[in-house]
Structure 1
């Protein structure tokens, strides 16, 4: 499956990925915990032609004390609120799995896929801190190997539940009084080290069949799960050459797992700050760093762009020509500032595509239910 153009996503972290971004007069921080803030941000991203918005989430409050943005809304709830007001952009919230049940994650993401008419994704994350463990009080902090083994099992359970209703299971046969065809519902009968789930789901199969799964390959443990499970893999790198080498290694690992590497899109994270001149952008980033002394400044160890929207357009063209990755995820340091600059200069335009679902936008087919194709017991 070929990817004819650069897939472009944006990650919306509060008022920006920089912890002091809320102090800018244009941050919109006073509205951060309102529906209007998020619907405006995601609608703007759609108008600018972004393919998907990534919505971070966590069960731990942000570190850094009173100087940084603290508090967050539920990412799935934000996506669901925005879904009816948008029509093209993919909605990919993070849903942590460590202290939650895969049945709940399955139902939440399926509901989002219905609400968005097939534009839902799920970024799989784990909860690695003592603060998050104590917030639930059910188990101690786990090591990375245990965390990602559990996450791997959670993804398996969720995807089986997504398949547990075949397409067409809802027959709504008034004469016989049958709403569903019971022969098209299946027990998943999963038994692993962390979960034992019989199923089936209580939610019918959604528009995409299987919503898009995203995993960040930023540790050996998460990378192992990513190459086995993900439709989108997110990476970071200091430069395009390193990103290209990372992508090549990931594609080889995907093949080793018996998967088609062209069915997995590898996206490079790109921290950005935009202003009307390169000098102004650099000055504003320095001001952000002064406000949050504990925040490490952007350095050569992370591919980034601080400058104008026009220069960003040139950089994205360079990424496309280099064929280093399948796409880019912009991570604005100050969210409103970057969206305003992009809107003013229109360097990102809505692509000409007939794709309706996120799967179609990624060039991926809608899969059949595994139970329909294997004839597994119901």
Structure 2
């Protein structure tokens, strides 16, 4: 029997290839147009994709890129991902909307209320992708911290950088606070009793009273409990420390295997982290990432890839496996990942909108006809589509006066 998977997409300005904006099919002048993002998300939505993540960052340079040496051939500037998702929410029908938020420098209270509002606007299709970041460029934009993550350790191990470890501890606290704020209103806190004049049952709104290493937060969210109860928490993880962050706090983790051995090693790491940290929570959903460039023929795909590399001045590199080929080649890669037992595959289009259209019009239909694509009912929340239950507020049964 064919193992079925959800299909997601990761949207990044002009695409994941740094020279994608130079493609004739690109909309380089429209990257800051709301219509550009509306059309991308509607295309993915109409194709039946389960979710779309929207990239974001807090600096003009890429992470670990020198602050004072911007490469002029790269796309610079972006729209705020949470606001893009909020704009697109009433314009889409069923796709999950998952903006990226950097946990360093931002405040969890603001993020909590923004994602709750997105959950209302989308009628239960909101999530968030948390990124632990504290680069020099980000720090310079806020001016509140002197110490952060200036370089990745030469060993490649997160454990060898105290600054990166601190950023992940902060991200863990951030995720914890989000969930507590989302729980701070019980579902039935608003009573709207016209006769008594009571709009709210104050005993069902709770102060979260959180005191941690990085955050100290007392009150409740200003937004009532949203349709999903808790919008989806997601993270991208490559090694043990972020795997543990995902296991302890996330509903879904994106991983980057390059072959079957990678899948086995990643699942072993995630299972070990879950055994240690996840306790009685639902199993962590695992999506594998692929960066894809899709053309009708293998020759056309190779030519497009080489042209982009020449414009960029270097070959494309990625943390994720790169598939350059036909729709059938992408389908084969998705089927291999499905056979490994992952819950979903998130495709990163090398070029937007060209590869988004190819995914929607060519890749997804083949996967659907082959029985690989998991189908879900229209109108379901994102949690329901991914087989996750709607959690009850942790404060049910407590009475805490505001």
- 1:304 is paired with a residue whose SS is strand
Structure 1 distance, partners of 2:214, 2:169, is 9
Q: Give 2:101's match in structure 1, choosing from 89, 95, 119.
A: 95
* Alignment of 1:213 onto 2:233: yes
Q: What's the CA shift for 1:145?
A: 1.2
Q: What is the aligned counterpart of 1:263 among 283, 286, 291?
A: 283
Cα distance change on mapping 1:34 and 1:175 into 2, 3 Å: same
Query: For the structure 1 residues 153 and 278, does the alpha-carbon distance in structure 2 shift closer, same or farther, using more than 3 Å as the test?
Result: same
Aligned counterpart, 1:336: 353
- Out of 173, 178, 193, which is 1:173 matched to? 193
CA drift at 1:219: 4.3
1:297 corresponds to which of 316, 335, 343: 316
Q: Does 1:20 align with 2:31?
A: no
Q: TM-score, normalised by structure 1?
A: 0.93
Alignment of 1:183-198 (within 5 A): 183-198=203-218
How far the C-alpha of 1:297 sits from its partner, in A, is 2.8
Please list every run of 5 or more consecutive structure 1 residues that lacks an aligned counterpart in the other structure: none
Deviations 1:68-87 (Å, cap 9, x if unpaired)?
A: 11110000000011110111
Match of 2:332 in 1: 314
Cα deviation digits, residues 139-159 of structure 1 (max 9, x gap): 123210111111111111111
Q: Does 2:60 align with 1:51? A: no
Displacement after TM superposition at 1:331 (Å): 0.7
From 381, 386, 394, give the equivalent of 1:357. Answer: 381
Structure 2 contact 115–126 (Cα < 8 Å) conserved: yes
**Structure 1 residue 266: Cα displacement:** 1.0
User: Partners of 2:289 and 2:375 in 1: how far apart?
Assistant: 24
Provide the residue aligned with 1:372 in structure 2: 396
Structure 2 residue aligned with 1:238: 258
* TM-aligned CA distance change 1:376 to 1:187, over 3 Å: same
How many residue pairs align between the two structures?
372
Which sits farther off after the overlay, 106-115 or 253-262? 253-262
* Secondary structure class of the residue paired with 1:270: strand
**Helix, strand or coil at the partner of 2:286:** strand
TM-score (norm 2): 0.88
Q: Which residue of 1 aligns with 2:146?
A: 140
CA contact (8 A) 1:359 1:366 kept: yes
Shift of 1:6: 0.5
Please give the residue correspondences for 1:84-163 in structure 2 after superposition, counting only pairs within 5 Å.
Answer: 84-142=90-148, 143-163=163-183
Q: 1:90 to 1:333 in 2, by over 3 A?
A: same
Q: Alpha-carbon deviation of 1:318?
A: 2.8
Shift of 1:326: 1.7
* Alpha-carbon contact 1:98-1:127 (below 8 Å) kept: yes
Give unpaired runs (5+ residues) of structure 2.
Answer: 63-69, 149-162
Q: Is contact 1:254-1:261 (8 Å) kept?
A: no
